[in-house]
A and B are shown apart, each in its own frame.
Chain A
Amino acid sequence: MTFSEEHAMRQVEVNLDWTPEEDDFRAEVSEWLDQNVPKEPLPSGDTREGFAEHLKWERNLYEAGYAAVSWPKALGGRDATLWEWLIFEEEYYRHEAPQRVTQNGLFVLAPALFAFGTKEQQQQLLPRIASGEDAWAQGWSEPGSGSDLASLTSTARRDPDREGWLLTGHKTWSTRAAFCTHMFGLFRTSAEEKKHRGLTYFLIDLDQPGVEIKGFDRLDGDEGFADVYLDEVYVPDDSILGGVGEGWKVAMASAGSERGLTLRSPGRFKATASALVDLYQQTTAAAADQPSRQEMASLRDAVVDRWIETEAYDLLTKDQVSRMLAGDEVGFESSITKIAWSELDIALHETALALEANSSLFVNDWTKGFMFSLGGKIYAGTNEVQKNIIAERLLGLPKN
């Protein structure tokens, strides 16, 4: 039997077209952003004053229904599809709207709450994340536990007097923790069990006795990091996400979303790539410091390569969303996504610095963005760890 006899029925073809509804959604978002994005950029959200300014912006977004478009309406979203979420992100970055200082809650904690939270936890916490009322910090890393997260030593022990736990330990490199109201993190609930066993995922109110937070500056000079010291900090039983001893499973599921789709949508890089093309055209048009033809050719090639890589990342995301909607699990492929966006971000900024020459001696969006981009290969699980995951989980290579 030939192929044509077996398969006479036509399917919907691969296509890159948006539906009229999706086009309408884009137009609506674009119009709202046109009218509402602050004309003057806000001060950096990784500083104390800037963070407060950004929270006001988050409130505006929430009231307009744009804080978390893909969430259910009842929990602070607007029931948008994944495609609409991608469109929203694209428009958001195209309009140079403020950075999302609540992103740890939105993109790291929330997926874990949706997957592992009780109904009460979801209803209580998610709307407050969307509105920016609660700002969440991460409590993963410790001074001795970075890539080897499972070696962490912060502990939780039963409170002998109350229904709950007492948390003790030192979390560090916690993004914007100095300005946050809450922290999620992993603590060891069983001294007998080692490594990833015996860990529990806790949701912690930071405004209480025993918590001490000290901010410190990131590479780019903003106070974006903090040490969080906990000394017998009480948390009630219902602040556990996913059950006692289930912390690793919950954390890895949310780390997957941090690495993958939700943390770094293509819109962000498309906006950077578009700014890079503008920069290239300004450089070629500028009379001063006119590069030679050969120099321009090599810079042009670099800009074209960044364009290719940005489109490839955009299409990778669309491919993954297509498969998710078809019912497939993306799973460990999120490690590939993480490598893709982190390397892309560095390359985009390096190319801009090569174009800018003298401007790169000063603090500006490109130089700050470059310094920030170097963090991308470190946070959300270093790229070295991601490569181990790809090698062992996707290729099936032997462990040590």
Chain B
Amino acid sequence: MDLTNSEESSALAQTVRMVLEGTVTPDLIRNAGREPDNSKVRQCWTAIAETGVLGALVPEASGGLGLSLTDVIETFEAFGYSGAPMPYIESICLTVPAVASADSVLLDSVLTGKTIMTATPSTIDPAGYTGMSDYVLVGSEVQAQSSAYLCECSSSVLSAAAASIDESRAYRYVDVPDEAQPMRVDAKSWETATIASASALVGLSRRILDMTVDYVGQRQQFGRPIGSFQAIKHQLADVKANLVRVVPLIKAGACEVERTETGSFRYVSAAKIMAARVAAETVKVGIQCHGAMAYTTEYDLQLFAKQVWALSVQWGSVRQHHRRLAHQLDTELAA
């Protein structure tokens, strides 16, 4: 039994964090969905790729870092904290490992960040980051299936543009064409992405909490910082307490993905449910504590809030995971 992060885990997170801090500015996030040529985003993606993180879960023999999921959770949190408007979950959990195991000619190009791939579990789940990606990997209808299709991102494959709640994500449905390339995906990769999304939600929440703590410490009303009022303190204390509680659950989910051969993903679902709820609450508290300041698009908080709303639904909504968890608990107890 040990839930402390390994040195390797913290070192990778630190390496990635340094790159993200230098490159992912609020302006980059704000403009990510609007750049016609995606040049700034691509430049940033290449810098991220240079750390080797995109191949974190790929075996060393195939040019990756050969890490386990438990060693990458902290890194997903760092990505979330940065607000990086890029398919890091899709790439690290799904597309890069799939390309590597297919021994595809594209491997070098995705590992170096030259080619960007996004992914979605099925044609009924919209894929994010379609605007900046060259390819999209689509699971065959049912999550946890091991067959998928790799499609080039083009107007004939993607549904018509519709405004996404998180503009940088540019969600589109994918219509898999006949000529799409079949590709095997480890069925567990979808669970990996769920854990990654839970961890990224924690990172986003920490960012919002930090911004809010800074703000309420400075903002003066009634002659004192509003952060000295208990009404504010207690809301933020709840957020902090909830964030501390959700992280061990995410680690347990990662252990479950690595170890289980039985198809039981109770902690995975529990982690996503709790992370999504905690993040949603953090956004509400963050906006409330900022007052009208946060109720604008000028102020940066909204960039992170909208990523929270998007990620809470993607990779399994609370309702979907709730249903699956209830089912797993019921069958296990009946057995």
A residues with CB within 8 A of B: 2-4, 6-7, 9-18, 22, 83, 277, 281, 300-301, 304, 307-308, 311-313, 315-316, 318-319, 321-323, 326, 333, 335-336, 339-340, 384, 386-388, 390-392, 394-400
Is B5 in contact with A14, judged by CB distance below 8 angstroms? yes
CB-CB under 8 A from B209, the residues of chain A are 395
CB-CB under 8 A from B9, the residues of chain A are 11, 14
Query: CB of B60 within 8 A of chain A?
Result: yes
Is B248 in contact with A395, judged by CB distance below 8 angstroms? no
Taken together as a complex, chains A and B put the C-alpha atoms of A340 and B5 apart, in Å, by: 22
24 contacts between A and B (CB under 8 A): A2-B51, A3-B11, A4-B66, A13-B68, A14-B9, A14-B71, A15-B1, A15-B70, A16-B1, A16-B252, A17-B1, A308-B270, A308-B325, A312-B246, A312-B248, A315-B249, A319-B251, A336-B245, A339-B238, A340-B241, A384-B230, A388-B230, A391-B233, A397-B213
- Which of B12, B247, B267, B270 interacts with A319 by CB under 8 Å? B247
Taken together as a complex, chains A and B put the C-alpha atoms of A313 and B248 apart, in Å, by: 9
Q: How far is the CB of A108 from chain B (nearest CB, A)?
A: 22
Interface residues of B in 219-270 (CB under 8 A from A): 224-225, 227-228, 230, 232-234, 236-238, 240-241, 244-249, 251-252, 254-255, 266-267, 270
Is B326 in contact with A311, judged by CB distance below 8 angstroms? no
Give the residue name and chain of the A residue nearest to B238 (CB).
Answer: A387
Q: How far is the CB of B321 from chain A (nearest CB, A)?
A: 10
A-B Cβ contacts below 8 A, count: 166
Taken together as a complex, chains A and B put the C-alpha atoms of A340 and B274 apart, in Å, by: 14
Give the residue name and chain of the A residue nearest to B255 (CB).
Answer: A16
Taken together as a complex, chains A and B put the C-alpha atoms of A83 and B1 apart, in Å, by: 8
Give the residue name and chain of the A residue nearest to B51 (CB).
Answer: A3
Taken together as a complex, chains A and B put the C-alpha atoms of A6 and B255 apart, in Å, by: 25
Would A277 and B217 be within 8 Å (CB), given that A2-B50, A16-B255 are in contact? no
- Which of B3, B7, B52, B252 interacts with A4 by CB under 8 Å? B52
Taken together as a complex, chains A and B put the C-alpha atoms of A391 and B230 apart, in Å, by: 9
Query: CB of B297 within 8 A of chain A?
Result: no
Q: How far is the CB of A217 from chain B (nearest CB, A)?
A: 31
- Which of B7, B60, B248 interacts with A316 by CB under 8 Å? B248
B residues with CB within 8 A of A: 1-9, 11-12, 15, 50-53, 60, 65-66, 68, 70-71, 209, 213, 216-217, 224-225, 227-228, 230, 232-234, 236-238, 240-241, 244-249, 251-252, 254-255, 266-267, 270, 273-274, 322, 325-326, 329, 333
Is A319 in contact with B248, judged by CB distance below 8 angstroms? yes
Q: A277-B329, A339-B238 known; 18 other A-B pairs, CB under 8 Å? A: A2-B52, A7-B12, A9-B8, A11-B6, A15-B2, A15-B70, A83-B1, A304-B322, A312-B245, A312-B246, A318-B1, A318-B3, A322-B2, A391-B227, A394-B237, A396-B217, A398-B225, A398-B227
Is B228 in contact with A400, judged by CB distance below 8 angstroms? yes
CB-CB under 8 A from A315, the residues of chain B are 3, 248-249, 251-252
Is A326 in contact with B4, judged by CB distance below 8 angstroms? yes
CB-CB under 8 A from A390, the residues of chain B are 237, 240-241
CB-CB under 8 A from A11, the residues of chain B are 6-9
Taken together as a complex, chains A and B put the C-alpha atoms of A313 and B224 apart, in Å, by: 36
Is B3 in contact with A10, judged by CB distance below 8 angstroms? no
Q: How far is the CB of B211 from chain A (nearest CB, A)?
A: 12
Taken together as a complex, chains A and B put the C-alpha atoms of A392 and B225 apart, in Å, by: 13
CB-CB under 8 A from B273, the residues of chain A are 308
Taken together as a complex, chains A and B put the C-alpha atoms of A330 and B245 apart, in Å, by: 14
CB-CB under 8 A from A321, the residues of chain B are 1
- Which of B51, B217, B240 interacts with A394 by CB under 8 Å? B240
Taken together as a complex, chains A and B put the C-alpha atoms of A308 and B227 apart, in Å, by: 31
CB-CB under 8 A from B227, the residues of chain A are 391, 397-398
Q: Which 4 A-B pairs have the closest CB atoms?
A: A391-B233, A11-B6, A315-B248, A390-B237
Is A323 in contact with B1, judged by CB distance below 8 angstroms? no
Taken together as a complex, chains A and B put the C-alpha atoms of A318 and B247 apart, in Å, by: 12
CB-CB under 8 A from A333, the residues of chain B are 244
Is A13 in contact with B12, judged by CB distance below 8 angstroms? no
Is A14 in contact with B325, judged by CB distance below 8 angstroms? no
Taken together as a complex, chains A and B put the C-alpha atoms of A132 and B129 apart, in Å, by: 65
Is B251 in contact with A6, judged by CB distance below 8 angstroms? no
- Which of B51, B52, B241, B322 interacts with A339 by CB under 8 Å? B241
CB-CB under 8 A from A3, the residues of chain B are 11-12, 15, 51-53, 65
- Which of B8, B240, B244, B322 interacts with A301 by CB under 8 Å? B322
Q: How far is the CB of B245 from chain A (nearest CB, A)?
A: 5
- Which of B53, B217, B241, B245 has the most C-beta atoms of chain A within 10 angstroms of its own C-beta? B241
Q: How far is the CB of A355 from chain B (nearest CB, A)?
A: 15
Taken together as a complex, chains A and B put the C-alpha atoms of A392 and B236 apart, in Å, by: 10
Is B267 in contact with A311, judged by CB distance below 8 angstroms? yes
CB-CB under 8 A from B51, the residues of chain A are 2-3
Q: How far is the CB of A109 from chain B (nearest CB, A)?
A: 27
Q: How far is the CB of B243 from chain A (nearest CB, A)?
A: 9
